[in-house]
Each structure stands twice: as structure tokens, then as C-alpha cells.
Structure 1
């Protein structure tokens, strides 16, 4: 469902301040002055409603959302702590200075520090060994341990280069050849004493796979895992997560079958997301071992007979997404369209021919389709079947969402997936 407060941060701030008289924190101890008659009649929103508005406005990413919350924190004392808690829900750390400021703010010696530390549920960290003031692995471990309620960790690792060996603008294939030091044992022990995260997103842009993947031993009970960057070629010597339910892969090249077999040896997946094509051998293994249990599947494209067969080998699908336009029309024909599919996300350009058979799916009420999400490529508005799709979706009560941004498109599909997981998906998204 589209958010009620889908306004820009500036417009939302103006809406909030229209109902509240901004009060400088330093002035709250002064005697209350009688307001002019016209100003005293200004309606005042209940604080609970204001907090709901701030929380809804904090959904999403970008500097504008953070700027809005910082301004809300300065309005009055009643707003200050709730706004700060929302600000600290997702924390980004790249440098030593930023980490030192963060650790000072969440130090448990003060009540405010304990509250802010407990508010952090998602941590995004960059370990760049090529930067002179980059975050150290020791500070990274201390930051993780300072967040007792941490659920999700997004870690990017960049290796170091020798002077004169690399220039600005080199291709990704050269960037992944950087080396990075191995994690020290004391760092791993410190992380083991910290929170038990459930979602881990690892972008490894170095050649050191063995050390980075040892982090799986720190958090063996991971439920959601996203891997990107350089491609592991062999199965590492450590133990993989044993309870994975979600796996997302976006490697520069297809991972080896040995690595995938090692990674999923003890896991049963509900969600599989492939941003890039994998080798036929890896795809066959994934479908043979996980296809019967998959509820959500994302593929780079679904325009060939082989890719349509991939969808058919997942009989329990409730959610399907493809990132490239021109999906195969046969996918929507009787006998091919998954009967239990509830949400489908497709990319659309100006001549996407799949819309006509998709119209038939909606008109004839095939399956359990409840929502359609379209990623609008250039010229998609000129598609001759788009207007008809809008009308038939409105008539049959099927939600139709049109999005341009690729990241928003993917996130919308993840949020729309009706999972039966026992873990708190909403907390991971924040």
C-alpha cells in the first residue's frame, strides 16, 4: 500500500510545523507567555500522531530523510529523543572519526547513550584498506558490539593496492584483485560476544575470500544473506550458515558449483534472488535442491524458454520478479503461469508484448494474483496496453504500482512478499 505520507521531507516538515509552534530547547525553562488569540486557536496534533508521522517519514534512504529527522529533533524536547532514535535506527560508518563519534553517542554510561545504542537495528560499514583514515576492523567490531538489538549488517570490504599499480576509473574486474588482510582472532572473538544478527549483506571487493567468509562462523544462525562483489571460486574451510531462508547473489561472474553446494548444504530457502545470470550447472543445482520450497524468485530476465522453465520448476511461488523488459508472453499462458502467484514485478518498455497476455490473467482471474509492480523504462508510458492494464486492475481490485528507480523497484517487491517467516522482516528493512 502506498504510504499516506509520500511527501518530500521539506513538505512534510512544513506540515508538521504548521500544527506545532517551534520551541527552542533553551527557552523551555522560561515562563509560558500567553499566545495571541489568533495563534492560540491553532490546532495541536497529539504527540502520538506526530511520532507516527516522523516514523513514516523516516522510511527510505537519503540525506533528505536524515535532514528532516535532525530538524525534528531540534523542535522541542518532546520530539528530540524520538527523532534521534529514528536517526540511529540505521547507522553508516566509513571512517575512524565517524566511528569514534558514534561510540561516544551510544556509550552506555548515560541513559541517552543506552537508548540510542538499543535503537540501532541496521549497521552499514565500509572497510577500505586503501584509505588512510578508513575504519579499522577493531573499531568495526566495537561498533557492532555497541548495538545490542542489531538485526542487520551491511559490510563492504575493499582491498589495498600498491602505489602506481592502479589508476582512477579502472574496471571492476581489476578492482577485485586487491588484497585485504585477514581478520584477527581477537576481532572475531569480539564479534562473537556481540549481538546475534539475522541478516548479513556482504560486498567483498578483494581477493581474500577465506578470511571474510569466516564471519559466517561468528553468526551461524543467519536467516538472510546477500553476497556481491568478487566471485568465490572454491568452498572455504569454515562452516556455512545452517538456517538460511533468503539468499541474494550479485557476483561479477557466476560462482562455482562447489561454493554454492557448500553454502546451502544445510539450508532450505524461501527466497532466491539472482541479479546476474549464473551458470546452467549452478542454476540446475539451485532448482533441484531449493525449487520445491521457494516462495519468492527474482531473475535477471525471463525471456527465453529455459528461463520460463526455471519458473515452472518452482511450483510454490508466491512472488516473481524479473529485471529486464520483454518477458516471454508464454509465461502468462494457461499451464505456464504459477497458480499460487500473488505478486509479480516486471520491467516494461515501450513495446512490451507481454502486457496483453498479462491482461488475460487479470481478466480471467487466473491464480491468486493480488499485485503487479512495473519498472518503467524509457518510453514505457507509450506502451499501447498500459491504459487497459490500469483499467482492468482497478476493476478487479488488483494493486498496480509503477516505479522508475531500480532499487525502489526491488525493495518494493521484497516488502510486498507475504512471508511466513518467524523473524521480524520489518525490522530488517529499517
Structure 2
């Protein structure tokens, strides 16, 4: 008599599906072949969604609405949404329609955690959010004691689908290339952030220049310092590019009382020098970075290094220094390899001493020297010379026993 087929435990089947997380073809089959496999397969299938065009957005909205009616609700599996070229700026005649499309999509994504928006218009999006009732300045900030990975309750899902809040569980937001002629004031920016009550990580890049924003809205730095009110946004992670902190009012927006900076992770581009009394100096040396654990910065001119005082950070666990060398710096490095440090602008002895001292104050510190060259001279041994050149100058840091130091050149680790 033939034996009955063996029934594998669901946990084992889900573990196998997890191993197929990057194989979309197999995930589609798993989601259709067995009802009990569908939730696990859809978690990987719809975890990250990228909408390149408005037509894709319309198709995605139709799929969300049909799955809502069928009870499958695929929108609840979406955790990461990227809108790289949706055209959410005033350059498009149907700007309000595109913003309205995003608002409608948001109603079906109650568990979204990460949102990336490129090339968008503050005013148009905020106008649609206000019209739909998704921005309410009097709304209360929900309890943050709930863990980010906890599943949404039925009441939370119901409230998320109602016009009360845009992406209520969003924790990470990347905004890039907003419309310079329509940049909103700090008041509107904070109003925009209020619709993300769980937000704790912010990435800002390619924001308009200060001169462009002044043509529409005057600077509001004084207002930011004098106005009252409890914080409605609390950020623990921040990423800024040079154009944002050097030429835009972004740091003024972030200094408003309604935004609390308690940074544990900071990633910043330092392709420009800054003054001792600048807003950036206040940020790097102030209480906002007092508890910093992870610091990463990029530079193309090593003369910027003396401006960064690492002695202020006593809780660092990782330090990542990215150095981007353009052709003129590559020529300088190549010349220094054959001459006795001709024109070397860095006091390497002081730098090594500062890093070793920092590692003593911060036990277990990990330091990464990441050197990248955008144009390599036609010499087969250039990378080998570069590695030797860097190792000679960073020898005290690389040899220190109480820290984990790594040297990476063009993506390859050499120490």
C-alpha cells in the first residue's frame, strides 16, 4: 500500500522561500502554487517597488485596488517605494494629477518604511496632501514605543487607509532634486514632515541653492530659533550632500524647534570648506551629534580634514572616510610617489595621532579608508603604488592593535 505524501512544516517551506528572495520567477510560482505559501512569497515580491513612469504608477494603483477588493492586499507587503522619474515637478503640465496619483497609492501602503522621491515639487505635493486631509497640524504624534517590525493591527490598518496620514509607519525618507523655483519655506517643510510621525532617518540631496529659495521665500533662520512648539519629528540618522548644507536652507529647516536631532548616524559630503561659525560647524560640534555612533564622510580635497574635530565624538563605533580623487589630485598623488612628499597638504602624523587617540576613547572602533579614483592614469602599477603610498602614511593607524582599520582602493580591500 503506497505511503501518504509527507507534509512538510510550514516553517520549513517559508525558510526555503526566504532563500529565493532574489529569484522573482520562483517567488511568483510559490505565490500561486499554494495558498499558505502566498504571504511569504508576496513579502519578498512586493517588498520593494520602483515606479519609473506615471503609466507604471497607474498600473500599480489598479493592482492595489483590485487586490484590496479581493482581500489579498498586496500593498501591505510594500516596505520600500522608489519614485526616480515620476515627474513630480512644475515642469509637467499634469503635476497635480501625478501628485494625486501618489496620494492615492499611499492609501494602500500602510506599512511603508522607506520612501525615495526624486525631482519633486514641495508645494504641489503638500497642496494635494492638505486637500486630501493627509496633513493635519493638530494631529498627535503616535506612541513610538511600538517596535518598527511589529505587524500593524486592524485598527492601524484601517486608520492608515483613511485620509488621516501619509505613510504612517515611514521611518526613512530620501528627497532629491526638488523644484528650485517652488521650494517651500521652513514652515511648509516641517508641515510636510509632520505627515511622517515615525520618521527617524532623512537623506537630502541636490536641494535648491539659497539664492533660488530666497527669490520665493525669505530665510527663516531667526524664526526657526525663536518659534516654540514641541518637536514633531525626531531624527536619528541624517545624510547630506555638499550642495544641501552649503547652499540651501536645509540646515535651517532642521534647526527648527519642531525637529529634534539626536543623531546616531551621520553621512555627509565635505567637498567644500566651512567656517567656524557656520551652521554646519554648529551641527558637527553641537549636542545634535553628541551621541554619534556611525560617522561617514566624503571629500575630494584632503585639506578639509583639519576642519573636522573628531575628538568631540566619544561613542563612535565606526568611521568611514571616502576620498574621491579627480584628475588633478591623481596627478599630485602620482608625483608624490616619486618625489619626497612634494606639496603634500596633509599632516599625516597629526592625522594618525588623532585617529589612534580616538580609538582609545572609543573601544572597538572600526575605521575604513576608502579611496576612489574617477580616472586612473595609463599605468599598470598605479593602484599598487597608491596602496603602498597610503599604507606608508597611515602605518600607525593600520598597525594599531586596539582598532579595526581597513584600507580600500577602488572597491578592493588591501588591509
**TM-score normalised by the chain length of structure 1:** 0.60
What is the CA–CA distance in structure 1 between the aligned matches of 2:315 and 2:77, rounded to whole Å? 36
Q: How does 1:26-425 map to 2 (within 5 A)?
A: 48-49=11-12, 51-58=14-21, 66=24, 69-70=27-28, 73=31, 79-107=37-65, 108-113=68-73, 116-126=74-84, 127-128=86-87, 129=89, 130=91, 136-158=98-120, 183-184=127-128, 185-187=130-132, 188-189=134-135, 190=163, 192=165, 194-207=167-180, 208-210=182-184, 213=189, 214-231=191-208, 233=210, 234-235=219-220, 242-250=233-241, 252=243, 254-255=245-246, 259-265=250-256, 266-277=260-271, 279-280=274-275, 281-289=278-286, 290-301=288-299, 303-304=302-303, 306-307=305-306, 309-324=308-323, 329-330=348-349, 331-333=351-353, 335-339=356-360, 340=362, 342-348=365-371, 350=383, 351-352=386-387, 353-356=389-392, 360-361=396-397, 363-367=399-403, 369=404, 375-377=408-410, 386=414, 389=415
Shift of 1:81: 4.5
**Range with greater deviation from structure 2 (218-227 or 305-314):** 305-314
Q: Contact 1:147–1:195 (CA<8 Å) still a contact in 2?
A: no
- Quickly say closer, same or farther: Cα 1:271–1:264, change in 2 above 3 A: farther
Residue 409 of structure 1 corresponds to none
Number of residues of Structure 1 aligned to a counterpart in Structure 2: 316
TM-score of the pair, normalised by structure 2: 0.62
Structure-1 separation of matches of 2:366 and 2:8: 37
8 Å contact 2:112–2:170 — kept in the other structure?
Answer: yes
Distance in 1, matches of 2:33 and 2:94, equals: 34
What is the root-mean-square deviation in Å for CA atoms of aligned residues? 4.1
* Distance verdict in 2 for CA 1:244–1:328, change over 3 Å: farther
**Are residues 198 and 97 of structure 1, via their aligned partners in 2, closer, same or farther at CA, if it must alter by over 3 Å?**
same
The equivalent of 2:214 in structure 1 is: none
Distance verdict in 2 for CA 1:230–1:363, change over 3 Å: closer
- CA change 1:202–1:257 in 2 (3 A) is closer
Cα distance per residue 1:74-114 (max 9 Å; x no partner)? 6766655432221111112243432333233333222312x
Cα displacement string for residues 276-328 of structure 1 (whole angstroms, at most 9, x for unaligned residues): 43533233111221342211111113834744743233232111112216897
- CA apart distance, 1:355: 3.0
Range with greater deviation from structure 2 (184-193 or 45-54): 45-54
